Structure 1
Amino acid sequence: MRTREALASAAKLTSYSAGLQVLFRLLSFLLNAYTLRYVSKETIGVVNVRLTLLYSTVVFLAREAFRKACLNVDKEQKWAQVINLLWLTVPLGVLWSLLLGWVWLHLVTTPDPAVIPHYEFGVVAFSLSAVVELLSEPLWILAQVHMLVRLKVIAESLAIVVKCVLTVLCVTIVPHWGLNIFSMAQLLYSGCLLTCYILYFMKYIGSQEAQRRSFPLSTVSDILPKYHCHQPIIDLRLAVLTWTFYKQSFLKQVLTEGERYVMTFLNVLNFGDQGVYDIVNNLGSLVARFLFLPIEESFYVFFVKVLERGKDIGHQKQEDVSMAAAVLEMLMKLVMLIGLTIAVFGYSYSHLALNVYGGSMLSSGPGPTLLRYYSVYVLLLAINGVTECFTFAAMSKQEVDRYNILMLALSLTFLGLSYCLTWWQGGVGFILANCLNMGLRIAHSLRYISHYFKHSKRQPLRGLLLPVPLLLAYLLSGTVTALSQASWSKQCLMSQLIHVLVGALCFTITIVTIFFTEPRLVQFVRTYFLSQNKKEL
């Protein structure tokens, strides 16, 4: 029963998170399309690559390890110690913001003030925004562990909407403010997010709903760090686990944002090319991130609740192991089909998508080629997200330590490949380096999963195998849409419309083939994502 409740909660969390990601990516998509008409691609490059990298690095290094460790906490845990541990994210964030802010101001190439003014204020604002967001981290963990899924959706959705509205208004009315517009919008986003979490818990703590769900805090002051007599200030076991993940977080951040670090510190692309690359990156990951990231985050929570970390399957409840294997198999099948669909259709529709989105500025340059390569990268990104999600949930502390060494080697290899391939192929080199890096990470995770289930009747890696009729449908769709692009490459509206109709027909054939060849997957999606009445897997 506990296992199925965890699965239902994970699926529900994924659905809500996916909806949030849809909103976030859609608004970012529309915002970029709008701002391209008012600001230069150089400004877009500085904001979306340089300053956003500063913000994401501070936030990731300050909180990622704490999230990995504390999301595994039971509801019956001594939460005073957990909260004390989580509050360490704030001074850690301040330290990283000061250190990295200095680096961004003094050790990297800064934009020409005549072309892009107010860069210094941008660095300060994005650093401060990261610290403000970290103030809500204990509340975020409480919400995730106790499955308060609507809170995350409402808070982040409202913050995103407010940020986008301010950006659009300022870009339209006072476009000469430049970076100041994006800096103020980023500060407003973090402040709105923190305010939503505080107001929610002020109302929730002590309420009848909280009592019914056995919420561990009885007063609002319990959210603040406290010292309790005759008790350790923090949970030492969690602290050790956090440190283990923390060592890994440096490497994972390099692997996740490696191309932006290379752009920032090695200056292999000018700010204009960085802007084009970032726009293509956002467009290419539009579907991938609003589906794959919520699945990874939500089902990581599911796996850590169902499996006992570091124990082989012979010493765990077989019902839980069987359920975890079945879910992993279906998840791999699901994300692989989504990623394969993006890869197949992305090749033929990259030029059209960029032309509609940004006009000739994007479609006439290297943009279409970048987007085609990125479509293939999305497939690898999909598989890696789910396999690492399970691997990190099942690994023991010693296995995580060993994996950190592998991550170090991957990080160094990735940075070297990015630098070399970018000098050779420009922006495409970044995507090629990402593909090679992602392939190595997938190989490691598949090897771990295969070894983990070697004595089990369940073999979740079968989720990566596709039936022959479905493979033929993808091959047919890719061939027909490629021929359609070559035949209707003119820029007239009728040619583009015919090309879209051909793609729609091929897409329909592919979806129908999936329904007939993958009935278990269809039932899984209907049961745990689309249906309100949870059925048996």
Structure 2
Amino acid sequence: MGSEDVLKSASTLASYTVLLQVMFRVLTFLLNAFTLRFVSKELIGVVNVRLLLLYSTLVFLSREAFRRACLSGEGAGRNWRQVINLLWLTFPLGCVWGVLLVCVWWWMLQAPDPESIPHYFPAVGLFCLAALTELLAEPLWVLAHAHMFVRLKVIAESLAMIAKCLVTVVMVVSAPQWGLYIFSAAQCVYAGILLLCYVLYFVHFLGSEEAKEKNFPFHRITDLLPSRVDREPLLNWNLTTLTWSFFKQSFLKQILTEGERYVMTFLNVLNFGDQGVYDIINNLGSMVARFLFLPIEESFYVFFAKVLERGQGVRNQKQEDVSIAAEVLECLLKLVLLIGLIITVFGYAYSHLALDIYGGELLSSGTGPTLLQCYSCYVLLLAINGVTECFVFAAMSKEEVDRYNVLMLGLSASFLLLSYWLTWMLGGVGFIWANCCNMALRITHSIIYIHRYFLQSEYTPLWGLRPHSAVMAVLGISAGITTLSERMFCCDGGWVLRLAHVAVGAVCLLGVVTTVFLTETRLVQFIKTQLLPKYTKKST
């Protein structure tokens, strides 16, 4: 598959995944707004912080390293039989992590009051079971992702998420006294349907004419089980050692990604009610980052990993591949930077109104608006870091990954200490500022790596971090106008004044988008041809 074909496939995957994540976040957004009317913020804190932290930790530590290693290019020694054998190690590894984490969650952490939050101990076990169920689909997920089965990912995750939402809504309305059982059952349904969709798809696909046309490496569903063929080694040693390097990195990355939840869970700096409010605002603030930036990062990591040979300098790569990789990186940096700046500018002036509409006085009073305003600034750093790291991780050699692990260890330790100190001083806002400091350091490292990587070439993809001066001017004017509008119209003057505030923001946003369209023509062309492929004509 040539570079242009890989780019087209990765762009299509990113586009559909963005649409999928938009649907997910909208459903989750509506679901949280609904459940806030029926359950306490303490219960939400236990579910969204304590139990989902268990789920994400188990799943991430068990599969992230395998995904990054097995989705690397041919230079990693691609042999699909050995890849599948390696991927099946995710489940036993998940079982080991599950036993350890459940013991910690049961006996080392303070259990919530059983009167107000019942069924905590069974819920921990059920969330662990749901995570292990999702891990069973990992070999199929990697196969589908590597071969760009876009529809499978969209349909499977859509059905699973819709089922989870339906189960939650029905049980919250009909049996709210079940407490944590509601969310445990919904999570198990999500994981089960996800696994079922992947299994049914490959049962139908393997052996079909489509599989033969695509020269798919497997022919029967039993071929996807671990086995040894033609006296080959069971595992590819290079791929296994690369996985180990990523595993050490993933452990540290998980601490950095979920650091504030670990601090809240293990150090008890906030009570369950405050944890619930913080998590709701965190999810609301990171909505765009999750449904837009994360799919772009995941999809274009696949692109960079396939186009560039890992560990090789820019002079040792095919120059056509280097050229297209540099162009894509520059456009992606410009895209996420502009989106992040827009969120930062308009998020500051509309945080109070958004929380008042979403959760009423429960969220709009107290520190809620301040938390969301700070998070709007953090989103800008999240956007840049996601793209820079997806390139860096795809280009690094095994030795460079190992060296980066040492840096990540230092970042993890400093982040946890800074989180604890700032939270003790500032409350929930301290978590966000600690995240900002950590993200800024990671971005600095990635920028230095990218600069050195392209230093001996004619390409300068980091110019994507310099938006047009006209765009910056319009953003500055919009920031001033919307801040003044908030003071005049929001948020105690009734719906008419609120609508006036929204109208002012809409006009300013239209001005920003128009300016971007007129000045950033190269970026607009990239979006039209790569990120919106279904709207372009197919080449004949």
Q: How far 1:232 sits from its partner (Å)? A: 0.6
Aligned mate of 2:506, from 495, 504, 507: 504
- Aligned partner of 2:144: which letter? A
Superposed CA offset, 1:480-520 (max 9, x none): 00000011133411110100000000000000000111000
Alpha-carbon distance, 1:408 to partner: 0.1
How much does 1:229 deviate? Answer: 4.9
Q: Distance in 2 between matches of 1:163 and 1:439?
A: 35
> Which secondary structure does the structure 2 equivalent of 1:218 belong to?
coil
User: Please, which of 515, 518, 528 is the counterpart of residue 516 of structure 1?
Assistant: 518
The answer to whether structure 1 residue 210 and structure 2 residue 211 are counterparts is yes
Write the distance in 2 (CA, Å) between the matches of 1:103 and 1:280. 27
The residue type paired with residue 405 of structure 1 is V
Residue 47 of structure 1 is matched in structure 2 by 47
Question: 1:24 is matched by which residue type in structure 2?
Answer: F
Superposition pairs for residues 263-342 of structure 1, below 5 Å? 263-342=264-343
Aligned to 2:438: 437
Query: Partners in 1 of 2:493 and 2:39 — Cα distance?
Result: 26
- 2:470 matched residue in structure 1: 469
Deviations 1:150-193 (A, max 9, x none): 11110011000000000000001111111000000101110110
Match of 1:80, SS state, is helix
| Aligned residue in 2 for 1:493 | 495
Alpha-carbon displacement from aligned partner over 1:377-417 (angstroms, at most 9, x marks no partner): 00000000000000000000110000000000000000000
Instruction: Provide the C-alpha distance between the structure 1 equivalents of 2:155 and 2:453, rounded to a whole number of angstroms.
Output: 38
- Please say if 1:397 is aligned against 2:398: yes
Q: 1:279 to 1:511 in 2, by over 3 A?
A: same
TM-aligned CA distance change 1:487 to 1:418, over 3 Å:
same
TM-score by length of 2: 0.98
What per-residue deviation string (whole Å, max 9, x for no partner) do you get for residues 122-153 of structure 1?
A: 10000111100000000000001111111111
Matches within 5 A, 1:7-156: 7-74=7-74, 77-156=78-157
1:286 positional shift? 1.1
Residue identity matched to 2:148:
M
SS of alignment partner, residue 309 of structure 2:
coil
Give the whole-Å Cα distance in 2 for the aligned partners of 1:182 and 1:281: 19
Residue 247 of structure 2: aligned partner: 246
Contact 1:83–1:224 (8 Å) recurs in 2: yes
Distance in structure 1 (CA, Å) of the matches to 2:21 and 2:351: 22
Give the residue type in structure 2 aligned to 1:18. V
Residue 230 (structure 1) shift: 1.7
Displacement of 1:20 after TM fit? 1.1
Q: CA deviation at 1:74?
A: 4.2
The number of residue pairs the alignment matches comes to 536
Structure 2: runs of 5 or more not aligned: none
CA contact (8 A) 1:8 1:534 kept: no
Counterpart-to-counterpart distance in 1, 2:273 and 2:51 = 15
> Structure 1: which amino acid aligns with 2:525?
Q
Match of 2:47, SS? helix
Determine the structure 2 residue equivalent to 1:457. Answer: 458
Q: Within 5 Å, give how 1:326-365 maps onto structure 2.
A: 326-365=327-366
Cα-to-partner distance string for 1:36-56 (whole Å, 9 max, x where unaligned) = 000000000000000000000
User: Does structure 1 conserve the Cα–Cα contact (< 8 Å) formed by 2:73 and 2:305?
Assistant: no
Cα separation, 1, equivalents of 2:231 and 2:454: 43
Q: CA deviation at 1:465?
A: 0.4
Q: Whole-Å Cα distance in 1 between the matches of residues 13 and 185 of structure 2?
A: 31
- Once the two structures are overlaid, the 10-residue window that deviates more, 490-499 or 341-350, is 490-499
- Please report how far the alpha carbon of residue 19 of structure 1 lies from its aligned counterpart in structure 2 after TM superposition: 1.0
After superposition, the Cα gap between the structure-2 partners of 1:353 and 1:226, relative to the gap in structure 1 and judged at 3 Å, is same
* Contact 1:387–1:446 (8 Å) recurs in 2: yes
Shift of 1:77: 3.5
* Contact 2:72/2:302 (8 A) holds in 1: yes
Report whether the alignment pairs 1:388 with 2:389. yes
Q: Which residue of 2 aligns with 1:232?
A: 233
- In structure 1, what residue type is equivalent to 2:501? H
SS in 2 for 1:232: coil
Contact 2:281 2:372 in 1 (8 A): yes
3-state DSSP of counterpart to 1:234: coil
> Contact (CA 8 Å) 1:73, 1:145: kept in 2 or not?
no
Tell me how far apart the structure 2 counterparts of residues 73 and 4 of structure 1 sit (CA, whole Å): 15
* CA–CA distance in structure 2, aligned partners of residues 272 and 491 of structure 1: 29
How far residue 526 of structure 1 moved from its aligned partner, in angstroms, is 0.5
Contact conserved, 2:102 with 2:128, CA < 8 A, in 1?
Answer: yes
Q: Judge conservation of contact 1:336–1:382 (CA < 8 Å) in 2.
A: yes
TM-score (norm 1): 0.98
TM-superposition CA deviations, 1:69-125 (whole Å, max 9, x none) = 001154993211111110000000000011000000111111011110100011000
Equivalent residue for 2:164? 163
Q: Given residue 451 of structure 2, which amino acid in structure 1 is its aligned partner? A: S
CA contact (8 A) 1:45 1:271 kept: yes
The code of the aligned residue for 1:5 comes to D
**C-alpha RMSD of matched pairs (Å):** 1.2
Could you say what secondary structure the match of 2:216 adopts?
coil
Aligned to 1:215, the other structure's residue is in SS state coil
Distance in 1 between residues matched to 2:533 and 2:443, nearest whole Å? 31
List alignment gaps of at least 5 residues for structure 1. none
Per the TM alignment, residue 199 of structure 1 is displaced from its structure 2 partner at its CA by 0.3
Q: For residues 347-380 of structure 1, what are the alpha-carbon distances to aligned partners after superposition, in whole Å with 9 as ceiling and x for unaligned?
A: 0000000000000110012110000000000000
2:177 is matched with 176
- Rounded Cα–Cα distance in structure 2 between residues aligned with 1:528 and 1:304: 18
Superposed CA deviations along residues 186-209 of structure 1, whole A, max 9, x for unmatched, are: 011101100000000000000001
Distance 1:319 1:80 in 2: 31
- Partner residue, 1:479: 480
Code of the residue aligned with 1:470 in structure 2: it is V
Structure 2 CA distance for aligned equivalents of residues 60 and 22 of structure 1: 22
